[in-house]
Amino acid sequence: MHRGNGHSFWAPWGVLLVAGCCGILGCSRELPLEPVTARPGASGAYVLCEGLWGHDNSVLARIELPDRVIPDVLAGTGLRLGDVGNDLQRRGDTLYVVVSGSRSIECFHVPTARWIGRIRLQQNRYPRQLCIVNDTLGVVTDLYGDAVTTVHLRRLEELPELCRVGPAPEGIARWQQMLFVANSGYGDYRAGEPRAGTVSVLHLFPLREEALLRVGPNVVSVLVHPRWARLYVLYLHLPSLWERDSLGGVVEYDLPTLQERRRWRVRLTGYDAAWSSTGDTLLLLTREGVAGVDVREGISRAPFLVLRNPAPDTDAWYTVAVDGAARYWVGNARSYTVAGEVVLFSATGVVQGRFPVGVNPGAIVPF
């Protein structure tokens, strides 16, 4: 994420801790909450397991290499993550967990896994993904409200500023003073609405829509290249058309001109994507495993297989991340209804570990 240069929101960390204590516990208790047992100095990954809709069974797991798993970092604290954990973002030593059904953003201390507070959103919100603008400002897509709303990351509160976008906004990304919001149309459900299958281009300060990119059906994710001025948009096509055309794809745009540059057709099975350690390859989820799109200038190459899923009939790969050692972390949701696992691959694709986690591991942040 990039540091913003617009509004300068600020609040002391003491406010964050007081807000965290008062939000659930009352101000008479202090953090940390027992019995967090994270190993100091460990490396590994946090895994957000979204659970099942309506079951209130989302969990945040912590994997500590080489072989330790804390299945639920809130176990034994009297707290629960909530219903449908959908997004996981890190800024510095703080991890932000977007829990859609519970209308909250839960905050954790990365080195210790301690819960440090909560941002509670309004009753009618359904937060989907978070974009961290700077140390204090975040922008969240509201799937049901057709809008993005703003939050103060230190005061742990929703801000009044919001902006209307297209139907069922999901993915969100930022480049300089531009925000990009994927208006999915929620698959077939709202596909016929005029702005479904588009990307809203917003100006950050003040928050307003400046342009609309017409991409394709069921637009779900947007990513900005970590080095180059390029935007990448993922679309999944429509479930009703899968018998005739089961392909989705990726569209590349130049920034800041918003001119379309290239398209790749690939049969996507998930929303998630990640960059390779070099930034040359966009990693995508398919039935066969993790596919790659070579995004280097002047390269014309069809999508190719990076990691093969050996059991696609029983194992659904649901998320992918890359750590600083160029290793691949893959979340396996299996049948989407039972406990999943995270598989760790070396940079050359050799399995280095398997870690049991909760239902539907949908986001991974290495640390």
Q: What is the pLDDT of residues 282-330, one digit of tens each?
A: 999 999 999 999 999 999 999 999 999 999 999 999 999 999 999 999 9
Is residue 15 predicted with pLDDT exceeding 90? Answer: no
Distance of alpha carbon 137 from alpha carbon 120, whole angstroms: 15
Mean pLDDT of 152-173: 97
Residues in Cβ contact with 40 at an 8 Å cutoff, skipping those fewer than 6 apart? 111, 112
- Please state whether beta strands 289-294 and 208-214 pair in parallel, antiparallel, or not at all (unpaired): unpaired
Q: Which CATH architecture has domain 13-366?
A: 7 Propeller (2.130)
Residue 340 has pLDDT above 60, yes or no: yes
Are 266 and 248 in contact by the 8 Å Cβ rule? The answer is: yes
The pLDDT tens digits for 184-214 are 999 999 999 999 999 999 999 999 999 999 9
Q: Write down the pTM of the prediction.
A: 0.89
Cα(114)–Cα(100) distance, rounded to whole angstroms? Answer: 21
- Higher pLDDT, residue 214 or 11: 214
Task: Please report the pLDDT score of residue 245 as a whole number.
Answer: 61
pLDDT computed for residue 243 by the predictor? 61
Percent of the chain with pLDDT over 70: 89
The pLDDT value recorded for residue 246 is: 63
Query: pLDDT at residue 24 above 60?
Result: no
Is the confidence at residue 7, as pLDDT, over 50?
no
DSSP-assigned states of every residue in 163-229 = EE-SSSEEEEEEETTEEEEEE--TTTTTTTSTTTTEEEEEETTTTEEEEEEE--SSEEEEEE-SSSS
- Distance between CA atoms of residues 304 and 293, nearest Å: 7
Kindly report the average pLDDT of the chain as a whole number: 90
Over pLDDT 90: what percentage of the chain?
84
Q: Looking at residues 217-239, what average pLDDT do you find?
A: 95
pLDDT band at residue 21 under the 50/70/90 scheme = very low
pLDDT (0 to 100) of residue 242? 64
Give the model's pLDDT for residue 244: 63
Q: How far apart are CA 199 and CA 178, in angstroms?
A: 12
Are the C-beta atoms of 186 and 176 separated by less than 8 Å? Answer: no
Q: Quote the tokens at residue 133.
A: 């603008």
Comparing 37 with 277, the larger pLDDT belongs to 277
DSSP 334: T
